[in-house]
Structure 1
Amino acid sequence: MTPLDLLTVWLERQADPQAVAWLAERRAAVRAEPDARTLTIALGLVPRKIGKAALDLTAEDVSAADRARRGWRPQGLTADQTARIMLLLEAGGADDFPALIKRVLTTSDLAEQIAVYRGLPLYPGQAALAPVAAEGVRSAVRAVFEAVAHGNPFPAEQFTEAAWNQMVLKALFVESTLAPIIGLDDRWNPELARMLRDYAAERTAAGRPVSPELWRGVAQSDGIA
């Protein structure tokens, strides 16, 4: 099954039939006319029509997700996030999908932004979406940053070393955690070790605590220097 197939099954087994019917109509409309206006209107109506309940996933669901897309971790998805990702996948046939995503993000609220970024590993044209993901990493909102950085295989697969290093450093800067970052052990590098040491020195000089996770990264990077 494709990721879209799985999302459909998961949502349909717990959503109200009327909500499912509404979403099917909106999906067809977006698929037929994948433009910013059609997509934005549908995305905005989702919470009212679908609700915000947590998606009820089983261990088999999680395994099926990894089989459909290696590294995809759907744990924690809500019904509205699921429906929004489904709509975005239906818009994947747009002439310039990355540009469409950027337009959607310019007018989206916080919840919509989180859904867009959580769907990153599922969209077509992965390499072309790296600038979109980088915008999410630059967000001042921790929840948006973590939608890209945590439980998401996209950064490890698509970010340059510089972009990757900035993401890891920012996780510490915003007092997030490193453990949920997929691919962390594979992408430690000497330049990241230098950045982490500098960051630790600045924190120590200011009398502020340093996350123990930082030293794990320094040790890993030193081992490959």
Structure 2
Amino acid sequence: MYQADINAIIEFLKKQLQPTTTTQGMDWLDKKLELLNSSGARDKDLYLAFSATPRFVGKNKLQLSKADVQQANDLRTGFNPSSWTSDQTARTLLLLSLPHSDAEAFQQKIEKLFDTADMGEQVALYGSLPLLPHPELFKPRASEGVRTNIGSVFEAVVLDNPFSADYMEEDAWNQLVLKTIFVGKPINQIYGIDRRSNSKLAHMLSDYAHERWAAGRSVTPELWRPVGPFIDATILKDIKKLFSLPEEVQHEAAALACVQSNFAPAIALLNEHPDLKTRIEADELNWQQISDKALALN
């Protein structure tokens, strides 16, 4: 369902990589891609090339234009390599060059890389998941990635990566969102955050907010984005509390949550705040702004 056109992805990634590395780096990579795609390639060739990649292509950040970002999304819905580096890009190209007609053999090679990967290699591996052949085979690996305590690796799994939204089961998805909030990452960058919102998640987040409030701690206003569509009598009390807090951004989040709801009391509550309702209707207030404000407060 979500299988990318591998040849088109390879062409796109090479185009993005070329300005960020040297001619020698591209020559080295082309030779490795040819080798790995040949019948004489050994597993050792992959592992050595994967490890050596930064020494040959560097670690410069890609410089994508808006058109490039749109093309990436056109090639694979949700694919956004804006934060990728040259070594991550080259490593992804190595993975995409592997023969993959034998799904089990392909999976075993990727899993062996995961088992021995350092931090930078894990970032590349998790970022590549939505582009790989047989992506459904890597659902357990993505769930494992959510449990990592390494910040950059967690971001590679969660932020601007469509794999989780497209393949994770509901419980694993809910844990991903909850942990993203817990570690202070922007849920605005979780691809599919609105599509995958669900009632169980909404109540998990409400419980988490109660724990924070009971401990005298604040709650990021972004938390209420996946909650809004599932406001009920219990959660409505939380939304009313937001309107009672001194921070304007909490009022804005409460209003946006109410707009997402079909629960009559939530609609009535929003009507008690006509200025916020007008701003939302005029598209002068949205979740992107809430995310920006929450980031500025951290």
Shorter-chain TM-score above 0.5: yes
Check whether the contact 1:65–1:73 (CA below 8 A) recurs between aligned residues.
yes
Percent of residue pairs bearing the same amino acid type: 40
State the structure with bigger RCO (CA 8 A, min sep 6), 1 or 2: 1
Q: Which moved more, 1:93-102 or 1:120-129?
A: 93-102
Gap change, CA 1:224 and 1:159, over 3 Å in 2 = farther
Cross-structure match for 1:57: 64
Residue 163 of structure 2, aligned match among 154, 159, 168? 154
Please give the secondary structure, in 2, of the residue aligned with 1:2.
helix
- Pairs within 5 Å for 1:111-130: 111-130=120-139
Check whether the contact 1:34–1:91 (CA below 8 A) recurs between aligned residues.
no
Cross-structure match for 2:95: 88
Q: Say if 2:95 is the partner of 1:79.
A: no
Structure (1 or 2) with the larger CA radius of gyration? 2
Normalising by structure 1, we get a TM-score of 0.93
TM-superposed deviation, 1:142: 1.9
Gap change, CA 1:63 and 1:216, over 3 Å in 2 = closer
- Pairs within 5 Å for 1:123-138: 123-138=132-147
After TM superposition, the runs of 4+ consecutive aligned structure 1 residues lying more than 3 A away are: 33-36
Residue 26 of structure 1, aligned match among 22, 25, 32? 32
Aligned AA (2:223):
L
Structure 1 distance, partners of 2:139, 2:177, is 16
- Pairs within 5 Å for 1:1-225: 2-32=8-38, 36-91=43-98, 93=100, 95=102, 96=104, 97-222=106-231, 223=261
Gaps of 5+ in 1: none
Which digits, 9 at most, give the CA deviation of each residue in 1:36-58, with x for residues without a partner?
Answer: 43222111111110001111222
Structure 1 distance, partners of 2:221, 2:64, is 32
Gap change, CA 1:192 and 1:123, over 3 Å in 2 = same
Check whether the contact 2:36–2:94 (CA below 8 A) recurs between aligned residues.
yes
Gaps of 5+ in 2: 1-6, 232-260, 264-298
Check whether the contact 1:52–1:79 (CA below 8 A) recurs between aligned residues.
yes
Aligned AA (1:108):
A
Aligned AA (1:190):
S
Aligned AA (1:144):
V
Structure 2 distance, partners of 1:153, 1:179, is 13
